């Protein structure tokens, strides 16, 4: 495969050309005195941030917390394919642009999330031929990268492509795009993204690798297999995004987790924690012991994680319990049997800092200082 030449030109020749203007780069705020999470992270050469949805921009108390704690912002839904292009050729940038503007006005960096994900493919793509789907995917990746070229430092190019339970020898998830285009569409997405914005750091992002369970171990093997294959083929993947949707009550082994991070770093990749939160279903209903259990797990996880020099950022999937996919209960594994409201994030519903916030702060304070960013 030619990384930026014939393959990309052939794919883009089938696609509708983009017309969006590039945006100026963002500046990450420097470390400053005080107790904010990003200031603590920046003092160690790290970044801290959170996911945000456009519909929450009007909440003054939440925005104050973002300004106090976040130097990095991720669009929760607004940059996903189905949100950007619900009808073929009808690109809707407004909601995502609002988040980009908020980040710029508040001197926050941006992570892009996510270009290719089986759960965010627009419905109209399934009506296309293989050739048409290949062209649509190429156009989507190119136009989206071009829209915010220079404004987004890291992009999640491919999300959750590994599924050991699907039984493929390459460990990949059996998705519509995989069945239609084959596994090469993963590498192609990275090549097109790199050609569209050569300065952006490109990430593979996935979940379910953090705990000392047979399920997590198999997922780690699958993810390492994919990353090794991409790197060996010269695919421009620079970062592993570890979602870190932690589960209280599941075992966590420091040595096992550190070994996995070292294996990733040995590939020449940096690592970012991209969607940190905690499923507290196994903890008591009372808020105090529940919050203590969540904080203990987060502190143990981050202490080991931040000891790996290749780790460069921590992003929580939201800041407050009042806005969380765990609270929405979309997955049965998130629903508490006692029907108590989940408490998965650093702030409670009233925007008061919880023990989880203190655990993150303490882990950042204890983290070793990073040298210059690699890769």
Higher-pLDDT residue of 58, 330: 58
Is the pLDDT at 364 greater than 80, yes or no?
A: yes
- Per-residue pLDDT band at 331 (split at 50, 70, 90): confident
Q: What is the pLDDT of residues 132-189, one digit of tens each?
A: 999 999 999 999 999 999 999 999 999 999 999 999 999 999 999 999 999 999 999 9
Residue 275: active-site member = yes
Q: Are 115 and 155 in contact (CB under 8 A)?
A: yes
Helices (H), the chain: 6-13, 37-42, 60-69, 81-84, 94-105, 130-147, 176-181, 184-196, 214-232, 254-266, 287-306, 325-328, 355-366
- In angstroms, the CA 181 to CA 170 distance is 15
- In angstroms, the CA 127 to CA 328 distance is 31
pLDDT for position 334 = 80
Mean predicted confidence (pLDDT) in 295-300: 98
| Marked catalytic residue, from 165, 275, 333, 349 | 275
Q: Any idea what the Cα angle at residue 162 is, between residues 159 and 163, rounded to 5°?
A: 130
Q: What is the pLDDT of residues 193-208, one digit of tens each?
A: 999 999 999 999 999 9
- In angstroms, the CA 324 to CA 329 distance is 9
Cα distances from 64 to residues 38, 106, 125, 271, in angstroms, run 14, 11, 39, 28
Of 314, 310, 290, 292, the closest CA to residue 363 belongs to 314
pTM of the model: 0.90
Residue with tokens 């519909």: 55
Is the pLDDT at 19 greater than 60, yes or no?
A: no
Annotation: CATH topology of 6-13+40-366? TIM Barrel (3.20.20)
Higher-pLDDT residue of 32, 140: 140
Is the pLDDT at 330 greater than 90, yes or no?
A: no
Q: Are 120 and 154 in contact (CB under 8 A)?
A: no
Cα distances from 271 to residues 67, 137, 263, 375, in angstroms, run 24, 26, 11, 11
């Amino acid at each position: 495969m030619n990384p930026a030449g014939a393959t990309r030109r052939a794919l883009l020749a089938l696609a509708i050309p983009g017309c969006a203007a590039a945006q100026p780069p963002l500046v990450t705020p420097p470390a400053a005195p005080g107790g904010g999470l990003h200031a603590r992270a920046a003092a160690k050469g790290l970044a801290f941030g959170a996911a945000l949805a456009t519909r929450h921009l009007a909440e003054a108390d939440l925005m104050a917390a973002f300004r106090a704690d976040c130097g990095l912002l991720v669009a929760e839904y607004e940059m996903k394919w189905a949100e950007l292009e619900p009808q073929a050729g009808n690109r809707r940038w407004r909601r995502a642009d609002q988040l980009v503007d908020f980040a710029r006005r508040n001197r926050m960096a941006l992570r892009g999330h996510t270009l290719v994900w089986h759960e965010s493919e627009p419905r109209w793509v399934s009506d296309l031929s293989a050739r048409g789907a290949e062209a649509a995917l190429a156009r989507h990746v190119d136009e989206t990268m071009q829209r915010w070229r220079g404004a987004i430092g890291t992009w999640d190019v491919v999300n959750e492509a590994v599924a050991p339970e699907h039984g493929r020898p390459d460990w990949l998830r059996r998705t519509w795009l995989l069945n239609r285009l084959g596994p090469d569409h993963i590498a192609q997405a990275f090549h097109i993204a790199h050609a569209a914005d050569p300065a952006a750091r490109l990430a593979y992002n996935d979940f379910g690798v953090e705990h000392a369970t047979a399920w997590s171990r198999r997922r780690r093997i699958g993810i390492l297999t994919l990353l090794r294959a991409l790197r060996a083929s010269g695919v421009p993947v620079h970062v592993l995004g570890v979602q870190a949707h932690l589960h209280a009550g599941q075992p966590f082994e420091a040595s096992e987790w550190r070994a996995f991070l070292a294996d990733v770093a040995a590939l020449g990749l940096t690592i970012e924690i991209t969607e940190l939160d905690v499923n507290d279903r196994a903890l008591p209903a009372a808020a105090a012991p529940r919050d203590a259990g969540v904080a203990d797990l987060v502190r143990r996880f981050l202490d080991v994680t931040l000891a790996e020099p290749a780790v460069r950022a921590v992003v929580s999937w939201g800041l407050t319990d009042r806005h969380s996919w765990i609270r929405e209960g979309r997955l049965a594994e998130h629903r508490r049997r006692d029907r108590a409201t989940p408490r998965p994030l650093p702030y409670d519903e009233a925007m008061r800092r919880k023990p989880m916030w203190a655990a993150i702060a303490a882990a950042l304070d204890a983290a070793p200082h990073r040298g210059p960013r690699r890769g």
